[in-house]
Amino acid sequence: MTPVVAPSPLLEVRDLRLSYRGREVLHGISFEVAEREILAVIGPAQSGKTSLLRCLNRTVEMIPGAAVSGSIRFRGEEILRTRRVHELRRRIGMVAPLPVGLPMSVYDNVAFAPRCAGVYDRAALDAIVERCLRQAALWDEVRDRLDLPGTRLSGGQQQRLTIARALSHEPDILCLDEFSIAIDPVTTMRIEEVLRKLRSTMTIILVTNLNQQARRLADRTMFLWKGDIVETGETTAMFESPRDPRTADFLSGRVG
């Protein structure tokens, strides 16, 4: 019988350490992310969740005094030492907690990255803009006002525009950092449905302060506590039978 070979993980993190001006905030954590899964990262404030995402696409380097060690391999390539940082940030996209629209039209917000990559044909740009806005569940609301400044949209629409802009890079991994922190519950549920559909084409790493959001969306969940991984596992199993008392306390609301 031919042995079954497990597929290689899309992302491998080994002994990742991060410090800010000598104060360590990630203490040698290790984990893997599979192709086309949603991994939720949960934990109390100041546990290192946002810092972890910043390491994955190397935006942490923009913070004075940040120092990173260990290994992050993306499709087998060590990304902490690659010189192709801009390409890396296209392949590992990021959506911030608060919508940050570029000071330009809805159309140009989405077309900005493709133009930077050398796409200038109007028909091609039109197709990209429509595809990304549809993927972000925004097309039907803005199709007749693509020239409107992005900052004129509602907060929930701006957050979906931020997602559309991230999708225009055609990332392999989409990282979202507490995307629902400043939007209403109805818009939150719409974006959650968008993420469920995107899972068929990309990997999603979701930092969330809403435990039930992790339970609704994630294939696996990782509990981060004071810079250490307490446990990682299949989401339903973790929520129903956490292995570590600290996880149980956090999920029950007794701490955090």
User: What CATH number is attached to the domain comprising 42?
Assistant: 3.40.50.300
4 falls within a domain: no
195 falls within a domain: yes
Strand partners, 33: 11
CB 187 within 8 A of CB 159: yes
The predicted pLDDT at position 1 comes to 54
% of the chain with per-residue pLDDT over 70: 96
The predicted pLDDT at position 6 comes to 55
Phi, psi (degrees; rounded to nearest 5) at 176: -120, 130
pTM of the full predicted structure? Answer: 0.91
Total structural domains in the chain? 1
Tens digit of each residue's pLDDT (9 = 90 or more) over 74-125: 999 999 999 899 899 999 999 988 777 778 999 999 999 999 889 999 999 9
206 burial level (CB within 10 Å; 0-12, 13-18, 19+): buried
Q: DSSP letter string over 123-190?
A: HHHHHHHHHHHHHTT-HHHHTT-TTSBGGGS-HHHHHHHHHHHHHTT--SEEEEESTTTTS-HHHHHH
95 falls within a domain: yes
DSSP annotation of 3: P
5 falls within a domain: no
2 falls within a domain: no
6 falls within a domain: no
191 falls within a domain: yes
Residues spanned by the domain of 227: 11-252
Q: Is 26 helix (H, G, I), strand (E, B) or coil?
A: strand
CB 74 within 8 A of CB 87: no
β-sheet with 228-234: strand ranges across? 92-95, 173-177, 203-207, 38-42, 220-225, 228-234
1 falls within a domain: no
The band of 182, judged by pLDDT with boundaries at 50, 70 and 90, is: confident
pLDDT over 70 (residue 243) = yes
The predicted pLDDT at position 71 comes to 97
The band of 143, judged by pLDDT with boundaries at 50, 70 and 90, is: very high
